[in-house]
């Protein structure tokens, strides 16, 4: 499905949601606003937030106010993705793109997940987010990892003044990252990942931006919960492995392009995405083709993804 088609489908779904109740039946509803683990209980209706009904354990989307109109389009796109595809890889890729567009003034968004206790990026809106995430994995510290480990929202108002993660701080500032917001994604009472939003200005995430980020993460997590529950377990493992492999293949292709074109990583990412759009092929497939042209072999398969403990 093209990006414009997703947007049109999202707008239609969102318009219908304003007229009627749109409920996603989940066994339990993760909510980053509540302490972990979160009990299922009734909550007052608030614009742009899911309402949890303890009797039916449902998540109902409350119509956003005019000030939250960007969220309305985002919710529609998430619901359209949920209806059109249950493939985890596709869903995660779209989540970070929509988040970077809707949660202003974030300039980049990455999504981190855990495998066997290790963190890795399964999707990113651009190279900046991917590199920021990788810095944290290499340093074994940073706001994203803290959000995962402590299962709470972590905000960096001004990294120039924040001394919590010295190894991460130095390299992130070189990338131009000054502020960030990391939000845990909890599925079935286990925090599997975190949505990482990056800004290039201090105090980038205002109260409104933070509220939008929390609400969007709630909805994305609820949709992801549905996908995880509906997907066959063995298929799910393969799809998560594919997501990890896609990131690795794209990174390799970026290195090739940087060497060939003598350009920056950001420029290489733009070239790769442009080729993907022009050829109407997935970013991963275009990247794999570039690697095969250089090495003469297909990219190696990724290791198996280990399922979370029941």
Run means of pLDDT, 10 residues per run, the chain, 310 residues: 42 34 28 31 37 31 48 70 69 88 89 87 92 94 96 96 96 96 89 94 93 90 79 63 79 91 89 87 88 84 50
**Per-residue pLDDT at 146:** 96
**pLDDT score for 165:** 97
pLDDT score for 237: 64
Cα–Cα distances in angstroms (integers) from residue 21 to residues 15, 18, 219, 230, in the given order? 11, 8, 15, 21
pLDDT computed for residue 91 by the predictor = 83
Q: Does the predicted model carry a pTM greater than 0.85?
A: no
Domain C-terminal end among 231, 248, 283:
231
Task: Record the tokens describing residue 37, joined without a space.
Answer: 């683990």
Range of the domain at 252: 234-295
| Residue 217 and residue 268 in one domain | no
Residue 307 lies in a domain: no
Q: Is there a single domain that holds both residue 271 and residue 197?
A: no
Pick the last residue of a domain from 207, 231, 255.
Answer: 231
Angle at 35 between CA 48 and CA 169, to 5 degrees: 85
DSSP states of the chain: --HHHHHHHHHHHHHHHHHS--EEE-SS---TTSPSSPPP------TTSEEEETTTTEEEEPPP-GGGHHHHHHHHHHHHHHHH---HHHHHHHHHHHHHHHSTT--EEEEEEEETTEEEEEEESSHHHHHHHHHHHHHT-SHHHHHHHHTS-EEES-TTT--S-HHHHHHHHHHT--EEEEEEEEETTEEEEEEEEEESSTT---HHHHHHHHHHHHHHHHHHHHHHHHS-HHHHHHHHHHHHHHHHHHHHHHHHHHHHHT--HHHHHHHHHHHHHHHT--HHHHHHHHHHHHHSSPPPPPPPPPPPP-
Domain CATH for 83? 3.30.450.40
Q: What is the pLDDT of residue 258?
A: 93
* Same domain, yes or no: 8 and 46: yes
């Amino acid at each position: 499905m093209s990006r414009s088609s997703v947007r049109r489908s999202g707008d239609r779904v969102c318009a219908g949601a304003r007229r009627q109740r749109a409920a996603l039946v989940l066994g339990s509803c993760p909510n980053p606003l509540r302490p972990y683990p979160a009990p299922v209980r009734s909550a007052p209706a608030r614009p742009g937030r899911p309402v949890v009904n303890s009797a039916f354990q449902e998540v109902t989307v409350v119509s956003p106010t005019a000030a939250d109109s960007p969220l309305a389009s985002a919710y529609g796109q998430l619901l359209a993705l949920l209806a059109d595809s249950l493939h985890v890889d596709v869903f995660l890729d779209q989540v970070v793109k929509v988040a970077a567009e809707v949660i202003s003034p974030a300039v980049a968004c990455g999504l981190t997940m855990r495998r066997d206790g290790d963190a890795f990026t399964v999707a990113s809106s651009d190279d900046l987010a991917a590199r920021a995430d990788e810095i944290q994995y290499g340093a074994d510290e940073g706001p994203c990892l803290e959000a995962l480990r402590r299962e709470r929202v972590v905000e960096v108002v001004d990294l120039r003044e924040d001394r919590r993660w010295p190894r991460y701080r130095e390299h992130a500032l070189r990338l131009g990252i000054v502020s960030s917001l990391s939000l845990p994604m909890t599925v079935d009472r286990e925090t599997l990942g975190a949505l990482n939003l990056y800004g290039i200005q201090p105090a980038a995430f205002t109260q409104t931006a933070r509220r939008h980020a929390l609400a969007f993460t709630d909805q994305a997590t609820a949709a992801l919960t549905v996908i995880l529950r509906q997907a066959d377990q063995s298929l799910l493992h393969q799809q998560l492995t594919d997501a990890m492999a896609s990131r690795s293949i794209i990174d390799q292709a970026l290195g090739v392009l940087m060497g060939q074109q003598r350009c920056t990583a950001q420029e290489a990412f733009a070239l790769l995405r442009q080729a993907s759009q022009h050829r109407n092929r997935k970013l991963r497939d275009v990247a794999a083709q570039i690697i095969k042209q250089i090495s003469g072999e297909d990219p190696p398969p990724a290791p198996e993804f280990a399922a979370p403990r029941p």
